[in-house]
Amino acid sequence: MAISLPTPALDSPAAVATAAEGKGYWRRVWERLRTDYFTLVVIAVLLCLVLMAIFAPLITVYDPQQGSVLRRLKGVGFAGHWLGTDEVGRDLWTRIVYGGRYSLLAGTLPVGLALLVGGLLGIVAGYRGGLLNTLIMRGMDVLYAFPSILLAVAICGMLGSGFGNTVLALTITFIPPIVRISESVTTQVRGLDFVEAARTSGASTLTVIRYHILSNVLAPILVYATSLISLSIILAAGLSFLGLGITPPNPEWGVMLNGLRQAIWVDPTIAALPGGMIFLTSMCFNLMSDGLRQAMDVRV
């Protein structure tokens, strides 16, 4: 038997007011962000790293996996290799540029997937409440009880190494905290007057979530998810360093750090280059997250 749902009250006063408020809010966020020059510089640095990884074949001339025993562990400034070479004679600049592809994907892809899955679960749990909320949140508590690195190591240990398994392990690791943030802010919003007005006007659950809940909970969820990207990059590099993530000879910063760990006694500079890229990228994402948080907190 077909069930007739109430017609979404998209033209109701509450919906119109919320939509106008949402447009005004994001306009104010942009105005605050474009005057935050420090955050804009950080975003520009991240953009350069992304473009460098995308156009790696255009800015390097060497094969990232081809080396030479005659060029092993050459220092910074060596002829033809301005950042030196690694333990098997591969150009470090080329390896770092191509390694950005794996490291940036391992940082953003798991967080993006966890944002979609965890955000949806948290919003549904916070809006519906009751038994559904209990089932979802208690299930997340089981995963949340484990530290992030231990959970990721355990999942990769069961599934094996590789880029796909690394992404899956980190996605599962980040879903519980995003669910908790999403559920918390949704629970606060669902009891507000404009949400009750939308329900009373006959709007469906999907309409209320799409036009009233989502516009008010999206900002804190996005800010929190952005802060997880730096952690994801570090965890992915740590898994690769332990041999549980991306495997050699693929150019990835954690793999490079593992391969160059013995080179610290020969030339500490080249041994520190992959670690420096991990630090720079994760720090930039942290600083960008702080800038977004300040821009989105329009009450300040």
Look at residue 3 and tell me if it is in a domain: no
Say how far apart CA 131 and CA 110 lie, in whole Å: 29
pLDDT at 271: 84
pLDDT at 14: 42
pLDDT at 199: 77
Look at residue 42 and tell me if it is in a domain: yes
- Quickly count: other Cβ atoms within 10 Å of residue 131's Cβ: 8
Per-residue pLDDT of the chain (300 residues; tens, 9 = 90+): 333 333 334 333 444 344 445 557 778 888 888 888 899 999 999 999 999 999 999 998 898 888 887 888 888 878 888 888 888 889 999 999 999 999 999 999 999 999 999 999 999 999 888 899 899 999 998 888 888 889 999 999 898 889 999 999 999 999 999 999 999 999 888 887 888 787 778 777 788 888 778 878 888 898 899 999 999 999 999 999 998 988 888 889 999 998 888 888 888 888 889 999 999 999 999 999 988 888 877 554
Look at residue 246 and tell me if it is in a domain: yes
Query: Which one, of 56, 37, 24, 15, lies nearest residue 251 by Cα?
Result: 56
| DSSP SS3 for 182 | helix
Q: How many domains does the chain have?
A: 1
> Do residues 104 and 53 lie in contact, with contact meaning Cβ atoms separated by under 8 Å?
yes
Q: Which residue has the tokens 């949402």?
A: 22
Say how far apart CA 256 and CA 65 lie, in whole Å: 12
CA angle at 242 for the pair 252 and 64, rounded to the nearest 5°? 20
pLDDT at 196: 79
- Tell how many helices (H) and how many strands (E) occur in the chain: 12, 0
Query: Which one, of 114, 121, 211, lies nearest residue 172 by Cα?
Result: 114
pLDDT at 16: 39
Give, to the nearest 10 degrees, the angle between helix 92-128 and helix 214-241.
140
Give CA separation, 6 vs 13, 109, 124, in Å. Answer: 17, 37, 19
Type of residue found at 62: Y
Say how far apart CA 210 and CA 10 lie, in whole Å: 11
Give CA separation, 292 vs 59, 152, 188, 239, in Å. Answer: 31, 27, 21, 29
Look at residue 1 and tell me if it is in a domain: no
Look at residue 154 and tell me if it is in a domain: yes
Look at residue 67 and tell me if it is in a domain: no
What are the tokens at 207? Answer: 């309409």
Look at residue 182 and tell me if it is in a domain: yes
Say how far apart CA 33 and CA 179 lie, in whole Å: 27
Whether pTM exceeds 0.75: yes
Residue 172: domain span: 13-60+74-296
> Do residues 285 and 46 lie in contact, with contact meaning Cβ atoms separated by under 8 Å?
yes
Look at residue 115 and tell me if it is in a domain: yes
pLDDT at 23: 56
CATH number of the domain bearing residue 163: 1.10.3720.10
